[in-house]
A = this chain, B = another copy of it.
Amino acid sequence: MSIQLQIDATDGPARVGRLTLPHGVVETPVFMPVGTVASVKGVPQDVLEELGVQILLNNTYHLYLRPGVETIRRIGGLHRFMSWDRSILTDSGGFQVFSLNELRKVSEEGVTFRSHLDGSSHFFSPESAMAAQIGLGADIIMAFDECTEYPADRERARSSMEMTLRWAERSKKYFEQHKSEVPWADQTQSLFGIVQGGMDLKLRRESALRTVEIGFPGYAIGGLSVGEPRELTREIVESTLEHLPADKPRYLMGVGTPEEIAEYARMGVDMMDCVLPTRAARHGLLFTLKVKVYMKQTQYAQDEGPLDPQCGCRVCGRYSRAYLRHLYASNELLAQVLNTVHNVAYYLDTMRAVRHSIQLGERARFLSERCGPNP
């Protein structure tokens, strides 16, 4: 078995589990930091390990363009290439093709797009996206989908969803024929299907049911966080989850704030990824338990306290806000490094707390009502 989900505790729709993959066990619900080109920007791999990162996301589109799939495949796949022996998930490249390419041309066959690096022309089909992901060798790979733009009318959302379903079949077919070609051999990867359907609950339901019918070892909800209001995201996530099998991992792509990832986990999502913690860190926005800290604010220039007194990360344990603010104001490399370490720690701590609260579950609520601070 190249993937196995064991559910250890549930609390309403939420669940805590262990997802066993070829490169280790992942505790779910899990947040996957984004390592676009096989690096979480500014953070060495040993620090990621120390933070407790169990699975990373890498972007197929970026790695396909540079250094190229063949370079990574020859070296033995992403794990060896980036010296990371824990789990990795790659996206299908679909989202980047749609978000970074205004000149893309979509047909039934696939998508023609131009490199954002040098303008060269490239083509992704379900088959070539699978070939790329097999060559990269992540533990979990994603079916090639069309991320429906927002807003889209019902007709457009339906036809896009239908194409994603046809592409899912082609992705699965190619994967089944070629899965033994993964560079690390003795086990195989796991291919997840992606639910689309725009912002239409009925289409989402249909997409979920028909994707499940095709049959994958895990399912993702794609096409969200594309500009729609957050309340709508929440509604679609909640209703889509109902149609996904409880014994398979459920992955919500590209979300969200710390509050949102906690909320989605409580709804029953098992896996999430987002560039927010790492990108915000580089722009001087730091998440803490009480407030968001914007490092550009001068109020921190004399602040000797730690960034987040309740955080146990190596940044909060060692440096003052005054120093971090100085590094940021001076545009120092170390600002981006330390800020990223903290934000990733904060996201992982958030998920630890969520897992803990799910494990405590109903019993804890009963006890806290009976034995709380005001008995």
Chain A residues close to B by CB (< 8 Å)? 37-46, 66-67, 71, 74-75, 81-83, 301-302, 304, 314, 318-320, 322-323, 326-327, 329-330, 332-334, 336-338
Contact = CB atoms under 8 A, between A and B. Distances in A.
A86 to B, nearest CB: 14
Contact of A304 (B43, B75, B302, B320): B75
Nearest to A41: B333
A301 B71 CA distance: 8
Contacts of A304: 75
Contacts of A83: 318-320, 323
Contacts of A74: 302
A319 to B, nearest CB: 5
Contacts of A71: 301-302, 322, 326
Contact of A333 (B66, B67, B329, B333): B333
A82 B327 CA distance: 10
B330 A333 contact: no
Number of copies: 2
B318 A41 contact: no
Contacts of A319: 83
Nearest to A45: B318
Contact of A67 (B37, B39, B40, B329): B329
A257 B329 CA distance: 31
B66 A318 contact: no
A80 to B, nearest CB: 8
Contact of A337 (B323, B329, B337): B337
B330 A42 contact: no
Nearest to A318: B83
Contacts of A337: 42, 44, 333, 337
Nearest to A62: B330
Contacts of A320: 75, 81, 83
Contacts of A41: 332-334
Nearest to A341: B44
Which 9 A/B pairs are nearest by Cβ-Cβ distance?
A42-B333, A39-B334, A67-B326, A41-B333, A83-B318, A37-B330, A39-B332, A83-B319, A75-B304
B334 A66 contact: no
B75 A301 contact: no
Given A66-B326, A75-B320, A332 B37 contact: yes
A318 B46 contact: yes
Nearest to A47: B44
- Residue picked from A39, A314, A319, A329, most chain B C-beta under 10 Å: A39
- Residue picked from A41, A327, A334, most chain B C-beta under 10 Å: A334
A320 B77 CA distance: 13
